[in-house]
Structure 1
Amino acid sequence: HKLGLYDVQGPIPVVKNVFVPPDAEGTLSIELEDVMPLLQFLAPVDTCKDRIASALESLRPTTSWERTTGSGQGMEGVLLGGRGFGVAMEALCSYLGYEYGNTFALARIFAFLSGPPDYGAGQLDTRRYGEQYASKGEDADRALLPEQTPFYKDLAAVAVQAGVCVDIFAVTNEYTDLASLKFLSIESGGSLFFYTSTEDSTLPQDM
């Protein structure tokens, strides 16, 4: 599991990877600023548009087989997945606040999710979705409304301090616990969008 930073200011896109720790309390072993200086990472679109497009085209979706074989064993025998969303967003917010001390001027992050964060810091336990239906005398829908972790609310405060707002685009038909994720977008001044599939979605217009 890794977090990749693309340098698109050279002749060809170059990616530098940082490994993401699996434990829920873990952080990256190195600051992103030490991997790639922020001003090297932030590329002007007008002069780097083609290389940005090439970098995006080099990304490929992870197959279900890769997610299964790449999973690690978590607490109580539960398999850990491949979406290290929480630790990646935490590192990115700190990264954007690095160059200008604590405040970046009007930075906006578009974050895309294909399912629940299930690896590393900020991972969400989606088993509770099924377990609540077995609970006696409890409204399952109401039980799922509270957040299960303050991680994303705390991260929103970090984003605000860094001058960053976050828009989350969740494209999935899985239970993703938006009740926990929503705080990162809403409390940082961004928006939360949910789509059950890419077909007939308004995602391009919403961006």
Structure 2
Amino acid sequence: MHAVILQHHPIEGPGSLAPWLDRHAKTNQIVRLYDGEECPAPDAVDLLIILGGPMSVNDEGEFPWLVAEKVFIRQVIDRQRPVLGICLGSQLIASALGAGVRTNRHKEIGWLPIEGLTTNTAITLPSTTVFQWHGDTFDLPAGATLLARSAACAHQAFLYKNKVLALQFHLEATPELVQCFIETGSDELVDAPYVQSPQAILATPADFYHAGNQLLEELLSRIIQ
């Protein structure tokens, strides 16, 4: 299996996905879009992982490579390859499938609960606490199934054709990754209903990270079947 990882910002790396990829993918390719690297041919992709980033999917004027990236994502989806999108990555999937992406009423930053929804799909999500850092949200694409919601965001995750999984939240989070988020995004940590303080975020027990990482591995195993 050849896995392609689309990275949008130097600090937003694969986190806990890195060891999983080492175990399950024969070859990995990280495409650093922020450095001007180009996406490969879609036929070369066996698994596509789209990471997060601080920009919006609508910022094509500032980040013109977003245009080609969305075309590439749609090409991979049309080839029925497994695709995972995290945060910005989930919004890029929604946009590539023709759905709108816009600013959410509330930012969600920190360890916050989501509600898993009962569906008849091959993949479901539990109600649990996850690490969030996003201000945008997506409309549900035609043909997609909503998997989770939260008090602050009606659309937290969706599944498309059992192969494409979009998650607003960061199951790949590690303590090191979260520390980087806080250091580079400190201006966003303001008093707001769904924004936690740096102290509260960093005080989260290791069990929360492990549970998210394990859930992500289970979800990946499902979409690559």
Same fold (TM over 0.5): no
Question: Higher strand fraction: Structure 1 or Structure 2?
Answer: 2
Question: Higher helix fraction: Structure 1 or Structure 2?
Answer: 1
* TM superposition score normalised by structure 2: 0.29
